Chain A
Amino acid sequence: MRVAVLGVGVTKFGEHWESSFSQLFVEAGSKAIVDAGVDGKDLEAIFVGNMSGGRFIDQEHVSALIADHAGLTPIPSSRLEGACASGGLALRQGVMAILSGFHDVVVVGGVEKMTDILSEDTTETLATAANQEWEAFLGMTFPGLYALMARKHMHDFGTTREQLAMVSVKNHANAMNNPNAQYHSAITVGDVLKSPMVADPLRLLDCSPITDGAACMILASEERAREFTDAPIYITGSGQASSALSLHDRKAIPVVDATSNAAREAYRRAGKGPKDIGVAEVHDAFTIGEIVAIEGLGFVEMGEGGRATEEGITQMGGRIPVNTSGGLKAKGHPVGATGIAQAVEVTLQLRGAAGKRQVDADVGLTHNVGGSGGTAVVHILEKG
Chain B
Amino acid sequence: MSVPRFWRNQQSRYNLVGVKCTNCGRTYFPPRSLCPSCRRLGKLEKFKLRGRGEVVTYTVIHTATDGFGDQVPYVMAIIRMEEGPQLTAQIADCDPSEVRIGMKVEAIFRKIQEDGTAGLIHYGYKFKLLEGGNAL
A139 near B76 with CB under 8 A, answer: yes
Contact with A along B80-115 (1 / 0, CB 8 A): 000000111110000010000100000000001100
Measured CB to CB, the closest approach of chain B to A292, in angstroms, equals 13
B61 in contact (CB, < 8 A): yes
The answer for the CA separation of A134 and B55 in the assembled complex, in Å, is 17
Contact with A along B8-20 (1 / 0, CB 8 A): 0100000000000
Chain B residue contacts of A155, Cβ below 8 A:
57, 101
Chain A residue contacts of B77, Cβ below 8 A:
148
Contact with A along B51-72 (1 / 0, CB 8 A): 0000011111111111010010
Q: A144-B59, A152-B101 are in contact. Are A248 and B78 (CB under 8 A)?
A: yes
B57 near A139 with CB under 8 A, answer: no
Contact of A133 among B9, B64, B73 (CB under 8 A): B9
**B59, B60, B77, B90 — most chain A CB neighbours (10 Å):** B59
Chain B residue contacts of A246, Cβ below 8 A:
88
B88 near A135 with CB under 8 A, answer: yes
Q: A133-B30, A138-B124, A200-B59 are in contact. Are A148 and B65 (CB under 8 A)?
A: no
A127 in contact (CB, < 8 A): yes
Chain A residue contacts of B61, Cβ below 8 A:
139-141, 144, 199
Measured CB to CB, the closest approach of chain B to A288, in angstroms, equals 11
Contact of A152 among B57, B73, B76, B113 (CB under 8 A): B57
B30 near A137 with CB under 8 A, answer: no
A198 near B57 with CB under 8 A, answer: no
Chain A residue contacts of B124, Cβ below 8 A:
138
The answer for the CA separation of A137 and B10 in the assembled complex, in Å, is 13
Name the interface residues of B9-39: CB closer than 8 Å to any CB of A: 9, 30
B5 in contact (CB, < 8 A): yes
Chain B residue contacts of A140, Cβ below 8 A:
61, 76, 88
A197 in contact (CB, < 8 A): yes
**A124, A133, A202, A253 — most chain B CB neighbours (10 Å):** A133
Contact with B along A126-149 (1 / 0, CB 8 A): 010000111111111101100111
Question: What is the interface of chain A, defined by CB distance below 8 A to chain B?
Answer: 120, 123-124, 127, 132-141, 143-144, 147-149, 151-152, 155, 196-202, 246-249, 251, 253-254
Question: What is the interface of chain B, defined by CB distance below 8 A to chain A?
Answer: 1, 5, 9, 30, 56-66, 68, 71, 73-74, 76-79, 86-90, 96, 101, 112-113, 122, 124
28 residue pairs bridging A and B, Cβ less than 8 Å apart: A124-B65, A124-B66, A133-B1, A137-B122, A138-B89, A139-B74, A139-B113, A140-B61, A141-B64, A141-B65, A144-B76, A147-B59, A148-B57, A148-B59, A148-B78, A151-B57, A152-B57, A155-B101, A196-B63, A197-B73, A199-B61, A200-B59, A248-B56, A248-B86, A248-B88, A249-B86, A251-B86, A253-B56
